Amino acid sequence: MQEFIKVTGMILRTVPIGEYDRRVVVLTKERGKISAFAKGARKPNSSLVAATSPFSFGEFKLYAGRSSYNMTEADIYNYFEGFREDFDGACYGMYFLDVMDYYTRENNDERAMLKLLYQSLRALLAPSLGRELVRCVFELKALALNGEYPGLPEDRAYLESTAYAVDYIVGSTVEKLYTFTVRKEVLTELEWITERFRRQFMDRELKSLAVLEGIKSQFRIENQT
């Protein structure tokens, strides 16, 4: 008799399998990052069509197979539908999903990472917050939660506000992360810091990052013309 479990989490990645099926990667509160096979999820009348799309956050009903879980039902609480009409925001969001796919592991306690991802996606859709700041906050906090934050690089000086912002990001709870803004000069330093850490601690380039950087470059060119 199959034993079903229920997990709460978010779809990080989805891959088509065969003609009608999908394989998904889910970051869960209970079991860390897991893979699941969703039979028939690409059929137009399947209840799992939208539920197995990236950004879908909710409760998933699974049973264990030989090499992965099998998904049978889903109750989605938030599809983050705002990204469907916001290409730039969706590109930032896909990068955030890829970062979590890189950092998290199966059977690890990834509750803090899941909470960070959820709150960061909400912040991307908040009109009052600049997306580059959200990205810097997300990257620094993810590094800290993963136990890799080494402190500010000591080979250069920083604005006092920059050092304060970094200390706040690293030390605060996820719920209080997106409650501030910074001056342009501070944001420039935060971007330099996060880029340096990304090169230091990530051993591969993420495709979503290349897309995001391409969009930023195009935006700069358009603003200069």
In the predicted model, what is the mean pLDDT of residues 100-128? Answer: 96
In the predicted model, what is the mean pLDDT of residues 20-48? Answer: 95
Point out the least confidently predicted range of 11-15, 129-133, 139-143, 220-224: 220-224
Closest CA to 25 of 82, 104, 83: 104
**pLDDT tens, position by position, 118-172:** 999 999 999 999 999 999 999 999 999 999 999 999 999 999 999 999 999 999 9
- What is the DSSP code (8-state) at residue 3? P
Instruction: Indicate the average pLDDT of the chain.
Output: 93
Q: Which amino acid is at 6?
A: K
Residue by residue, DSSP assigns 126-159 as -TTS-HHHHHHHHHHHHHHHTT----S-SSS---
Q: Across the chain, where does the E strand assignment appear?
A: 4-17, 21-28, 32-38, 57-64, 69-78
**pLDDT tens, position by position, 168-185:** 999 999 999 999 999 999
Tell me what pLDDT residue 97 has: 98
Buried b (16+ CB within 10 A) or exposed e, 111-140: bebbebbbbbbebbbeeebebebbbbbbbb
Taking the C-alpha atoms of residue 186 and residue 169, their distance in angstroms, rounded to an integer, is: 14
- Give the number of C-alpha atoms closer than 13 A to the C-alpha of residue 114, restricted to the C-beta side: 23
* pTM score: 0.93
Cα 40 to Cα 56, 58, 67, 113, 160: the distances in Å are: 17, 19, 18, 30, 55
Tell me what pLDDT residue 214 has: 83
Tell me what pLDDT residue 215 has: 78
pLDDT > 80? residue 224: no
- Give the number of C-alpha atoms closer than 13 A to the C-alpha of residue 122, restricted to the C-beta side: 14
Taking the C-alpha atoms of residue 52 and residue 127, their distance in angstroms, rounded to an integer, is: 27
Taking the C-alpha atoms of residue 43 and residue 137, their distance in angstroms, rounded to an integer, is: 38
Tokens of 7: 């997990």
Taking the C-alpha atoms of residue 4 and residue 16, their distance in angstroms, rounded to an integer, is: 24
Cα 140 to Cα 124, 158, 174, 203: the distances in Å are: 16, 16, 12, 17
**pLDDT tens, position by position, 185-207:** 999 999 999 999 999 999 888 99
